[in-house]
Chains A and B, each alone.
Chain A
């Protein structure tokens, strides 16, 4: 248990200094998984054999001096929508129950180059559609802080696994808040990079123009270190950007003097839980005391983000998910009569309710006669929202708000009212529409002991500003993760 309470960077250092062997780290992770997994259900698939083999290989490379990076030998969990060669990749859907990819996603390859040891694949909302990890075909993941509550979603498995010490860090993906919101609910640090920073090659698409892979970790230092490892310009992904600067750890500086921070009034208004509001305001106060200049402002168009997002994301999803048809891979209905019956039965059986809802919504908004009224209008709204942020970032270095309006809801309370669930994405969704980077940093718990996350928002390609602000906050308050529940003791 001691090993699993270390941050990824701390563990990496101890492995490098030969205080801990890679296989000890991997066994510690599996021991913790053994101890808590029946309560938490973070993983869809564990790759014990692969991880143990890999641990030996990585140890050899470290001993030979060929792997010297900060993450060498550190065990990681990967969200189950990133392809891993030979390891089942399900997107938490029945339709991909037995799907083993023939190639590994670029972000995971980058991690492997950095010496990561993959423990397994984490649970998620089916095809990343949901905010609770309850839409998974493989059962809901529970919040390690209170197993009667959800971990958030869609990267709920990754965030719960980090919070419960079932891995040292994890990869998640974020289309509308799917890293930041569950990070907030689980009391971990999660970062969604600027669109185009991490290759999407091998990420099974939900909303292609919004999806971005990012780190889930115990602290800001880990987050910056992981981001540095996974970010790359990838010619296999046409939306991948060649950035000038991939040095994210350089922003781990305990200083925000003169940093201009904007607080959008709409992010602190109606619908926000008072305890969440108070915690975020306290955290902002900390930064102010460290020398940041804080100001409230009006960010326009906030209320249009949710409808615009659900139109665009669903439209893209309806098309992206067409390939799951029973012809080439994945589930195929056992009995059918002809091609159309095969398609219909396969997809009816293979997809869950939330996925079907979004496929129908997306197909509708792209239909002839509705395209202009919904899809085009949503695209225009997206451009206007981006313009609003451009205006704000002309004045501020960082924008701060909550990551979610509430702390983690109880299990079983969200799916019956999807609209209400969608409204929970209000603070995270605009960033995906505008391509901006955002990070959720734990800022305490509510009276029920459930974690609260502060969302730091940066301008495009300005991850460094939010990393610096988050790191300064952490330095001032002490690292939250040490006080977090880790599930049952081994």
Chain B
């Protein structure tokens, strides 16, 4: 093979918005309800029901659009996308085709030291569908409309990405922007963020785009990455064999690491889009846009800079902490209570990351409270507990969000500051370890370690090791 190929990728990203109620009715968007309990005549498509737009959906969509440098469509409209499927109770989805809420934006990604702009073609609002549950045993299907009418935005990028790495960086960037705006929790695994990948290959140096395929059913970053590699290889192989790539939609099976064709362009459905007559156009004033800009919360880049300047946190640490809005919120709230940013940062960068890795916990899923972390920082700082006890207590805080004050009290973990008691133990330890004592006296500095260890053990860890060290030295003089 002598030809060099370039991969051209564009993404369609669906993000479920964090509204409390659905896009066109007052039903709850909460996960986990019994089937068809978060439903009403509107989201089950009952005859005579009518949609009413949830304003918060427009505001979230505007916020994301503005943060992604888009132009807001000041008179925007909903359209009906018609297709028959039982998860879609009206057999049309209310979406936007002709006048989507935002257009022509970009986000900037970084690969190493190189920055690159990824264009946003458009962003539109739409409703989610229900869920079909197939009962293989009965050979029947059941429908749950709890998700029907949950608000989504679809973010359509330009075909500006050239590798899986760029795709990951783009998705990560979108996730951070949207999480920081509070518009969605963006969890790929739970489906609150989903991506379809449009991919084509072309010979390096050509400017014309190759025939693209669209890949669906990608529900993790790893799946997306593998699917891109797989599809790139498949298309190149076709071209090398002198065959044509067919424009089609393919479904990625992450278990088999293979995609298969769902439908080709020829049998692509005609969605018969037309303006939704049940909803009035949305008129977005300059003032509204200005207000949304004003209300825009601090985004990740700004926060990172501020952590460096305000809290003197190193760039690397600030980067890790701000990578999750939840962790950044934890950091700031804890710092606000205890006033010790560096100590808080150390707990997050050290023990927290260690336990996250060990127990496979995502940053967004951390469940301890800033109050309890602040208490732990203060207990340590005041010398009430020593650092090894603190680590032990933190494990409990991390796992169960226990109150450190209570935990230390109940388990009797306070450092003993009674010199008399310590003196007795030290005398006993020296008497029981004559060899180590003699070695230390003989100038073997290292020998003190064993004695400190024995003393700490005898104290059940509740002594300050520095103090033990100091008193041992005094006793052995």
Contacts and interface: CB of A to CB of B under 8 A. Distances in A.
A83 B49 CA distance: 9
Contacts of A318: 82, 272
Contact of B47 (A96, A235, A315, A375): A96
A328 interface: yes
A414 interface: no
Interface string B35-54: 00000010011111111110
Contact of A325 (B51, B84, B280): B84
Q: How large is the interface on B (under 10, 10 to 19, 20 to 34, 35 or more residues)?
A: 20 to 34
A39 B81 CA distance: 45
A323 B41 contact: no
B89 interface: yes
A203 B50 CA distance: 9
B48 A82 contact: yes
Given A319-B272, A363-B272, A236 B92 contact: no
Interface stretch (A156-164, A294-302, A366-374): A366-374
A96 B280 CA distance: 29
Interface stretch (A43-51, A98-106, A386-394, A452-460): A98-106
Contacts of A325: 84, 86, 91
B452 to A, nearest CB: 74
Chain A contact surface mostly: loop
A319 B88 CA distance: 13
Interface in A218-237: 235-237
B278 A208 contact: yes
B86 A83 contact: no
B143 interface: yes
A187 B196 CA distance: 61
Contacts of A315: 274
B47 A204 contact: yes
B270 interface: yes
A281 interface: no
A366 B278 contact: no
B278 A238 contact: yes
B48 A209 contact: no
Contacts of A324: 47
A101 B46 CA distance: 8
B90 interface: yes
A92 to B, nearest CB: 13
A102 B46 contact: yes
B48 A201 contact: yes
A183 interface: no
Given A238-B53, A238-B280, A339-B86, A319 B274 contact: yes
B48 A204 contact: yes
A202 B278 contact: no
Contacts of B92: 319, 322
Interface in A64-109: 82-83, 89, 91, 96, 99, 101-103, 105
B147 interface: no
B277 interface: yes
Contacts of B272: 318-319, 363, 366-368, 371
Nearest to B279: A238
B462 interface: no
Contacts of B90: 322-323
Contacts of A203: 48
A327 B48 contact: no
B22 interface: no
B80 interface: yes
B47 A327 contact: no
Contacts of B50: 200-201, 236-238
Nearest to B143: A327
A316 B277 contact: yes
A329 B274 contact: no
A239 B49 CA distance: 13
B91 A323 contact: yes
A105 B92 CA distance: 22
A343 interface: yes
A200 B51 CA distance: 11
Nearest to A315: B274
A204 B45 CA distance: 11
B252 to A, nearest CB: 24
B49 A201 contact: yes
B93 to A, nearest CB: 11
A374 to B, nearest CB: 11
Contacts of B46: 101-103, 328-329
Nearest to A369: B270
A329 B51 CA distance: 19
Given A319-B80, A322-B82, A239 B280 contact: yes
Interface string A326-365: 0111000000000100010000000000000000000100
A319 B278 CA distance: 12
A89 B47 CA distance: 10
A236 B280 CA distance: 13
Interface in B41-77: 41, 44-53
A1 B89 CA distance: 47
Given A319-B80, A339-B86, A99 B47 contact: yes
Contacts of B48: 82-83, 89, 101, 103, 105, 201-205
A84 B280 CA distance: 26
B58 to A, nearest CB: 13
Closest 7 CB pairs of A and B: A322-B91, A366-B272, A208-B277, A209-B277, A202-B48, A83-B48, A204-B47
Interface of A: 82-83, 89, 91, 96, 99, 101-103, 105, 200-205, 207-209, 235-239, 315-316, 318-319, 322-325, 327-329, 339, 343, 363, 366-368, 371, 375
Interface of B: 41, 44-53, 80, 82, 84, 86, 89-92, 143, 270, 272-274, 277-280
Given A204-B47, A319-B82, 19 more contacts: A102-B46, A202-B48, A205-B48, A207-B277, A209-B277, A236-B50, A237-B50, A238-B51, A238-B53, A318-B272, A322-B84, A325-B86, A328-B89, A329-B46, A339-B86, A343-B84, A366-B82, A367-B270, A371-B274
29 contacts: A82-B48, A89-B47, A101-B47, A101-B48, A201-B48, A201-B49, A202-B49, A204-B48, A205-B48, A236-B50, A236-B52, A237-B52, A238-B51, A238-B53, A238-B279, A319-B82, A319-B92, A319-B274, A323-B91, A325-B84, A325-B86, A325-B91, A328-B89, A329-B47, A366-B273, A366-B274, A368-B270, A368-B272, A371-B273
